[in-house]
Amino acid sequence: MSEKKLPLSSNEFINAIKDIPTPFHLYDEKAIIDNAKAFKEAFAWAPGFTNFFAVKACPNPSIIKRLAALGFGADCSSLPELLLSKASGITGERIVFTSNDTPAEEFRVAYELGAIINLDDVTHIDYLYNALGGRFPELICFRYNPGPDRTGNAIIGNPVEAKYGVTKSQLFDCYRKAKALGAKRFGLHTMVASNELNGDYIVETARMLFTLVNEIKKELDIDIEFIDMGGGIGIPYRLEDERIDLNELSSKIEKLYKDYNQKVRLTFECGRMITGPYGYLVTKALHVTSKYKEYVGLDACMSDLMRPALYGSYHHITVVGKEDMPKDHVYDVTGSLCENNDKFAIDRKLPKVDEGDIIVIHDTGAHGFSMGFNYNAKLRHAEYLLTADKKLVMIRRAETYDDYVKTLRFEGAEVEV
């Protein structure tokens, strides 16, 4: 069973946020740092172990810099993510650039930054070569899609139907071609599931990659320098979920590492499991109403957290100050978009909610703010960091109307030169 607590007591929490307009995203600095250290320590046996933090999970330099100070790298999927990583002090081979249907400009910037380029498709080899003006990286990586040999999940999809990665036969051709174009160092990547809570699934991914490393060496006489396990380690969104035991997971992978006589570096791209449990969407009940069902309407909406609408995902909800009251009311907890799926929870048992109650939605530290959008001209909200000394520091201000219209061109608009 997982436990869902606020990073402060109810009274401390209410006092800390009394002057901050809701909604906003809040991150617990100490918990994130402690969790990141625990991940590193669990895999301390692995030579050169690195976690490339998935920037897509929480693209804020105030978070990324703190992880960089622990030796984390960055997993990037776009030009802005590359630039955010650079601004956070992460460059060179501390970046892995994995994208699909990638514009030439983004490949060029990744190359200029010295990032590890991880190709998603066999056709990208020539595309990259041409994008770089007839050059090719000395270090190259390929993303493997095992197809029918593995099952995926709802988030990342069944490997056979997923758009990501190369097939096994293509993989060997990719290394041959890359070597012919001048590549001298090689990596192997996969990501076949997301938010996985079965540690044995991650272990089997390691087994799959260790097997491939040995097959590639035997058939192509190519030494794979590192394997990238991708992300995929899940977090316990539901109370009944069990968190993966990182030490147990690491121990099982270490045994495989020795059994398969490996010398490769082991890397991950975990984002969700690093920051996810330690982020909170802090919002307020604006309306409590009864129609055919009972509703709690919040001042946040799915533009602040779209996972429940997109995936039907569960996020635990705390009514601050009423944690010990009986959960004897059943509500749909909704936002203000003109979309009926703008709901954070459906038929959720909660204590009686009153207008003005502070509502905290848990586990939003990954793929929360970062998946936000501006539909209905909703403005994106602020991010705050709860520092180790229990102070709230703004790390991203809320958008304004001026921000929203800044790129528009209409009569009377200010035009930047």
pLDDT in the model for residue 343: 98
Asked if pLDDT for residue 229 goes beyond 70, the answer is yes
Angle (CA) 358-239-372 rounded to 5° is: 55
b/e per residue 363-396 (b: at least 16 CB within 10 A)? bbbbbbbbbbeeeeebebbbbbbbeeeeebeebb
Asked if pLDDT for residue 154 goes beyond 60, the answer is no
Mean pLDDT score, 195-207:
94
State pLDDT tens for residues 32-66: 999 999 999 999 999 999 999 999 999 999 999 99
Instruction: Write down the residue that tokens 């650039």 correspond to.
Output: 97
- pTM, two decimal places: 0.95
* Contact between residue 27 and residue 386 where contact means Cβ atoms under 8 Å apart: yes
Share of the chain above pLDDT 70, in %: 95
Q: At 394, list the tokens.
A: 């703004």
Average model confidence (pLDDT) across the chain? 94
Mean pLDDT score, 336-363:
97
pLDDT in the model for residue 165: 87
Long-range Cβ pairs for the range 132-139 (8 Å, 24+): 132/107, 132/108, 135/111, 135/182, 136/178, 136/181, 136/182, 136/183, 137/111, 137/183, 138/182, 138/183, 138/184, 138/185, 139/93, 139/183, 139/184, 139/185, 139/186, 139/187, 139/225
pLDDT in the model for residue 163: 74
Least confident of 42-46, 158-162, 210-214, 287-291: 158-162
Spatial CA neighbour of 67 closest among 44, 93, 37: 37
Greater confidence, 159 or 341? 341
Asked if pLDDT for residue 281 goes beyond 90, the answer is yes
* Contact between residue 313 and residue 6 where contact means Cβ atoms under 8 Å apart: no
| Alpha carbon distance 111, 236 (integer Å) | 37
The pairing of strands 50-54 and 73-76 is: parallel
Q: At 416, list the tokens.
A: 């930047």
Asked if pLDDT for residue 358 goes beyond 90, the answer is yes
Which domains are delineated in the chain?
29-275 (3.20.20.10), 276-405 (2.40.37.10)
pLDDT in the model for residue 36: 98
pLDDT in the model for residue 87: 97
Residue 20's CB is within 10 A of a number of other CB atoms, namely 14
Cis omega (within 30 of 0) for bond into 23 = yes
Q: Which residues are catalytic?
A: 338
Asked if pLDDT for residue 291 goes beyond 60, the answer is yes
Asked if pLDDT for residue 239 goes beyond 90, the answer is yes
b/e per residue 272-283 (b: at least 16 CB within 10 A)? bbbbbbbbbbbb
State pLDDT tens for residues 84-104: 999 999 999 999 999 889 999
Rounded to the nearest 5°, which phi and psi values hold at 298? -100, 165
pLDDT in the model for residue 325: 97
3-state helix, strand, coil in the chain (%, to 5): 35, 25, 45
pLDDT in the model for residue 411: 82
pLDDT in the model for residue 164: 83
Asked if pLDDT for residue 191 goes beyond 90, the answer is no
Residue 415's pLDDT band (cuts 50, 70, 90): low
Q: At 179, list the tokens.
A: 């070597």
Residue 147's pLDDT band (cuts 50, 70, 90): confident
Task: Report CA-CA distances (Å) from 46 to 210, 223, 257, 260, 319.
Answer: 14, 17, 9, 14, 43
SS3 14: helix
User: Strand locations in 278-342, DSSP E?
Assistant: 279-290, 294-298, 317-319, 329-334
